Structure formats: structure tokens, C-alpha cells
Amino acid sequence: MSTSYTITLDINRYDPDTKLSWVQTYRVEASAILRFVDVLRKINDEQDPTLAWSSSCEHAQCGSCGVIVNGKPLLACELLVKDGVGQFKTHTFKLKPLTIAPVLRDLVVDLEKAYDRVHKVRPWLIKPASPHPDGDEYRISPKTLETYSEATRCINCFCCAAACISTHHHFLGPNASMANMVRLMDPREMARGERMDILYREDGVYRCHTAKACSFVCPKDIDVSHFLALGKEGRF
């Protein structure tokens, strides 16, 4: 077997029945290659079946498992124990739910509510360009696609929104704003006026102060702030 660590997790807990919040400490003997979701599962299995957390794909592709570890919003399914120890230089981890929506229980937040902001930017093609004369696909050069394909990789994990200096009270958030940018840059979108209105809403791009925490925490390594800046610059 590989090396293992004795790690301490201080987890923010919340009970929706009693509405009590508290911090609970767990000590876990964890092999270095376990993901944090595995560690949470281990706590469920061996110590406390009531601890609630969230995940689905468990390989960083769906964005269900965002949590705040030692202040950093990240995907619990992609952080290996050894990387956690390396990155934060500690064996003690403070786990908190993402701050972007109400907490349902412990580490589980109501992402459904957070998604409202993504819905607001209407992520579909509002007014598609007329089809290619041959009746098949619209032609897009790889060069054009490349200017925005990075942004299409966003999985709406909301880590960026949780890290942003602008709170979520009055901001569409980095990811939702970026989803709007994608369509502004997509040559197939003809509803440019409407897209610009979304971009320049009061809760739109002005709420971004280029703090770049979004780019810093994004588990998909998307340079989110770059796309928001393109919006301000009007380059799309």
C-alpha cells in the first residue's frame, strides 16, 4: 500500500430540523491517493453516517461536489489527500459549504437555486443565424472557435462564484456572465442586442472587479476573468 496520512477535518455542520450549526472534527487515516470525496465516504462508513455531502460523477466533470477547503472553493472529487497536504501545507482541513446558495445540510448547498443565475443569461442560441446554404451545419473556423471554446468547458460548479470578491448578492457571477460571453462570441448568435443587455445589466459585468479569484480557483483552469474583461472591452 501507498503512504497514508492522519488528517483532521473540521467540518461545518448544519441540521435543517433543529436549524443548529456547529463544527465537528473528524480524524481520518487516509491513503495519499484518496480523493476528498473518498475521505468523506470513509467518514460516513466508519464514523458518522449522518454527515451529508454531495457528488455525482466523481471525476471533475459535473460540478456537484464543490466545497470550501481551507478557504478555497474546489471540487472535493478531484483533490487527492496528498495534493491537499501539499497545497495547503497542513494536515488539518476546514471544510465549509459553498457560500453561493442556502445550505441544505452540512456540506450540501441548494445548487438548484444557484442555477437561477445561469438561467438568467439564457444559455441557448436566442436567435440562430440562418443555416448554411447546403442545409447542413453552420461553418465555423477552428480559429474562431478557439477564441471561446475554453469558456464552453465550464461545468457550473460555482467555485468561482464562491471565491469572487464581489458577493453573490447582486452579481450574476463569473460563470453565468461567462456563459453569456460564449454566446456573444458564438458567430451563430444573432440576438446581439439582447445579449449586450444581459452583459451590461447592473448585476452584470460591472460587479466584476478583476479580482481573478475565479481564474485562480477554477478547477477547469478556465481564465474566467479574461472572458469577463472581453465583455468590458466589448471585444466579441
Partner 1 sequence: MEKALKITKVEASIISLMGRLPILSYYATSRGWSFLISWGHRLAGLTLVGYIFAHIYTLSLLFTPATFDADMKFLRTPVFTFLEWALAIPLIFHSLNGGRLVLYELFHVREDEIVIRWMVALGLMYVLVVGSFFIEESAQPSVAPFWSVTVAISLIALLLVFIKIWRTGNSILWKLQRITGAFMIPALLGHMLFMHMNYLTGHDSKTILLRIQNPYIKGMDLVFIILLLFHAGYGIFSIITDYISQGPVLKSLTFLVIAIMSISAYFGIRLIVAL
Partner 2 sequence: MGAALTVDSTLRCDVLIIGAGGAGLRAAAQIGERRPGTRIIALTKVSSPQKSHTTTAQGGMAAVDPKDPMDRPIFHTFDTWKGSDCSADQNVIKKVCDIGWEEVVWLERHGMHFSRTEEGRIAKRPFGGHMLDFGERMAFRACYEADRTGKGIMDTVWAESLKYGVDFIGQCVATELLFRDGQCIGAIIFRYPEGKFLAILAKATIIATGGNTRMYLVSSNCRGNTGDALVLALQAGLPVMDLEAVQFHPTGMVGPGILASEALRGEGAILRNKDEEPFMERYAPTAKDLAPRDLISRAIIQEIREGRGLFHQDHNAHHVWLDLRHLPKEVHEKKIQEVCSFFKRFVGVDPEKDLCPVAPTAHYQMGGIPTNEFGEVQSDSQGIVPGLFACGEVAAASLHGLNRLGTNSLLELITMGRVTGERVVEYLKDATDPEEPPGSRLIVFDQFSTYLNAQGKEKYAQVRDSLRNLMMEKVGIFRTEKSLVEAIEVLTELREMATHIPLGTTSLKANQDLWQIWELNNLITVSMVIAQGALARKESRGAHFREDYPERSDGFNYHTLVYMPQFNEVTFGKRPIDMSIFEAKGEHYELFDYIVREY
Q: Which stretches of the chain bind ligand SF4, using CB under 6 A?
A: 63, 154-160, 174-175, 218-220, 222, 224
Nearest-approach distance from CB 79 to ligand F3S, in angstroms = 20
Q: Residue type for 109, please?
A: V
127 binds ligand HEM (CB under 6 A): no
Choose the stretch contacting ligand FES; rule: CB under 6 A; options: 41-49, 57-65, 89-97, 194-202: 57-65
For residue 4, the cross-strand partners are 31
191 binds ligand F3S (CB under 6 A): no
Which of 21, 56, 147, 149 contacts ligand FES by CB under 6 A? 56
If we measure between CA atoms, which residue out of 92, 96, 89 comes closest to residue 74? 96
Backbone angles phi, psi at 66, to 5 degrees: -60, 135
Nearest-approach distance from CB 43 to partner 2, in angstroms = 11
Nearest-approach distance from CB 133 to partner 1, in angstroms = 32
Nearest-approach distance from CB 25 to ligand FES, in angstroms = 24
Nearest-approach distance from CB 98 to ligand HEM, in angstroms = 23
If we measure between CA atoms, which residue out of 185, 198, 195 comes closest to residue 230? 185
Measured CA to CA, the distance from residue 235 to residue 111 in angstroms comes to 31
Q: Which is nearer to partner 2, 211 or 216 (CB)?
A: 216
Contact call for residues 23 and 10 (beta carbons, < 8 A): yes
If we measure between CA atoms, which residue out of 221, 206, 96, 117 comes closest to residue 161? 117
209 binds ligand HEM (CB under 6 A): yes
Backbone angles phi, psi at 216, to 5 degrees: -65, -45
Measured CA to CA, the distance from residue 154 to residue 123 in angstroms comes to 12
Cα–Cα distances (Å) from 115 to 22, 154, 175, 235, in that order, read: 27, 13, 10, 26
If we measure between CA atoms, which residue out of 32, 30, 164, 179 comes closest to residue 100? 164
Size of the site for partner 2 (CB under 8 A): 65
Q: Which is nearer to ligand F3S, 96 or 212 (CB)?
A: 212
Size of the site for partner 1 (CB under 8 A): 37
C-alpha cell at 88: 495547503
Q: Which of residues 6-45 bind partner 2 (CB under 8 A)?
A: 15-17, 31-33, 35, 44-45
Q: Which is nearer to partner 1, 52 or 228 (CB)?
A: 228
Q: Which is nearer to ligand F3S, 69 or 164 (CB)?
A: 164
Which positions touch ligand HEM (CB under 6 A)?
A: 209-210
